[in-house]
Amino acid sequence: MFKFIYDINFHRRLNIPAPPVRMSLQSSLFTFSFTTPCSSSSHETSTPTITPFLNPVTRQSNQPDSSGRSEENNGELLRASSRSCMCGRRHFLEAASTALFPICPSIASDNLQPRYKTVLNRVHPPRPGWYDEFYASVLNSTVEPYEAEVAVYKTQLFTNLRGKAEKVLEIGIGTGPNLKYYANSADIQVYGVDPNTKMEKFAQESAVAAGLPLSNFEFIQAVGEAIPLNDASVDAVVGTLVLCSVEEVGQTLQEVKRVLKPGGLYLFVEHVAAKDGTILRLLQSALDPLQQTVADGCHLSRDTGKEILKAGFSSVDLSMAFLSNALIINPHVYGIASK
C-alpha cells in the first residue's frame, strides 16, 4: 500500500509516467488509496443517477453560525458530479479490508456538504467495509419474524400516508422493510437516510419489490442528527427502530420537525425501556452496554416515547404494544406526530 504511493510520487517528481504494469496488480489499492482518486465508472452502473427534488437552495435564515458561515450556506444540499468519487478517508484497517472487498462507497457520503459529513463521521465513524456489509446482510436475513408480528401495527399506521404524501423521508431506512407499506406508487418520491451505505442495495431491492421505480428512490448516507435536506421539504418522515441507536434523540427529532412541511406527519415505531422496577427493566439495564456493541449502537433503556412527546410537535398520537418476537426489546411505542 505505502510502496505503491511512494512509486507514484517518485515518478511524478521525475515527470515521467508510472509503469503501467503495476496498475493491474494494484488496482484495488489504487482505488482505495489514501491520496489517489478513483474512477467511479463502475459505481455509476450500479447506482442510478437521481436528481434530488431540491436544487441547491437555502434555509430561511441567513444568520451566521458559530463558524462564521451563514445559515444559508449551511442549509444547502450540495451534490457533486456522479462522474468521480474520492476514496481514502478510511483508516489503515479499513484500507486493508477494502483491498479484500474492493467496493467503491456510495457517492452520497462523498458529496455531502462538509457540515453534514462532519456530523456523520462524528456520530457514525467510518468502519471497515466488510463490517458494514456483514451487518447489513445479517439484518436483511433476520428481520422476517419481527416484521411479521409488527405488520399489524405498521399496516394501521401507514394507511395515514395514502394519498397524503408525495415526498417521504425515511430515517434509518436500513434494508427498506417499510417501503412495501407506503411506497407502491409512482407518485411518491422517497429519500432513504442511513449511515451504512451497504444497506443501499437491499433498500433498492425492497423499493423494486414494493413497486416503487428506482427513479423515485434516493439513498443518502447521513445520520438523523444532521439530515441533508432543506427546511419544510417533505410531506412525511418515517422512522422505525431508529431512535434507539442515534446518538442524540432530541437533535434527531428537531431535524425531523425542520424538514417537515407545516402539517406534515412523523410516523414512528420504536422500542422503549420497560417500566421501572420490573425484571425486564433490570435485564435491559444490565444488557444495555452489550446491546450497544453488537447491535450498532442500539440502546435498550431509552424512554423514547417521552422524548417524542416533549419534542414540540403540535399533536402526538402514541400507543404501546408488546411483541413476543422482540424478547427484551419491549415494549414498543408507535404512532403519528404532526408538525
Tell me the pLDDT tens digit for each residue of 72-101.
333 333 333 333 344 443 343 343 333 333
Q: Left, alpha or beta for 338 (phi > 0: left; psi -120 to 50: alpha)?
A: beta
- 117 and 40 co-located in one domain: yes
- C-alpha 169/C-alpha 123 separation (Å) is 20
- The 3-state DSSP class for residue 239 equals strand
- 169 and 263 co-located in one domain: yes
With a cut of 50, which residues of the chain have pLDDT below it?
1-110
Q: Which of 76, 111, 136 is the last residue of a domain?
A: 136
- CATH value at residue 259: 3.40.50.150
Query: What is the per-residue pLDDT for 117?
Result: 85
Total domains in the fold of the chain: 2
Query: What is the per-residue pLDDT for 103?
Result: 35
Q: How many CB atoms lie within 10 A of CB 154?
A: 20
- 192 and 328 co-located in one domain: yes
DSSP classification of residue 51 = -
- 247 and 291 co-located in one domain: yes
- 81 and 203 co-located in one domain: no
> Which residue range(s) make up the domain with 79?
2-136
- 13 and 73 co-located in one domain: yes
- 132 and 146 co-located in one domain: no
- C-alpha 321/C-alpha 339 separation (Å) is 24
The residue type at 22: R
Return all residues near 173 (Cβ < 8 A) that are at least 6 apart: 192, 193, 194, 199, 203, 219
- The b-or-e profile of 218-248 (16+ CB within 10 A means b, else e) is bbbbbbbbbbbbbbbbbbbbbbbbbbbbbeb
Q: Which of 101, 136, 171 is the last residue of a domain?
A: 136
Peptide bond before residue 125 is cis, with ω within 30 degrees of 0: no
Element (H, E) at 96: helix 92-100
- CA dihedral 268→270→273→279, nearest 10 degrees, is 130
Element (H, E) at 154: helix 144-158
| Cα angle 106, 211, 54; round to 5 | 50
Query: What is the per-residue pLDDT for 153?
Result: 95
Question: In the block, which residue shows the cell 441547491?
Answer: 56
Query: What is the per-residue pLDDT for 131?
Result: 86
Query: What is the per-residue pLDDT for 164?
Result: 83
Q: Which of 119, 136, 153 is the last residue of a domain?
A: 136
Query: What is the per-residue pLDDT for 6?
Result: 38
Long-range (24+ apart) CB contacts under 8 A made by 91-95 are 91/126, 93/128, 94/126, 94/127, 94/128, 94/129, 95/1, 95/29, 95/32, 95/33, 95/34
Element (H, E) at 196: none
- 86 and 166 co-located in one domain: no
- C-alpha 139/C-alpha 190 separation (Å) is 21
- C-alpha 285/C-alpha 333 separation (Å) is 19
- 214 and 232 co-located in one domain: yes
- Is 300:273 a contact under the CB 8 Å cutoff? yes
Read off the C-alpha cell for 92.
489503515
Query: What is the per-residue pLDDT for 209?
Result: 94
- Is 223:120 a contact under the CB 8 Å cutoff? yes
Query: What is the per-residue pLDDT for 79?
Result: 36
- 175 and 47 co-located in one domain: no
- 123 and 151 co-located in one domain: no
- 316 and 204 co-located in one domain: yes
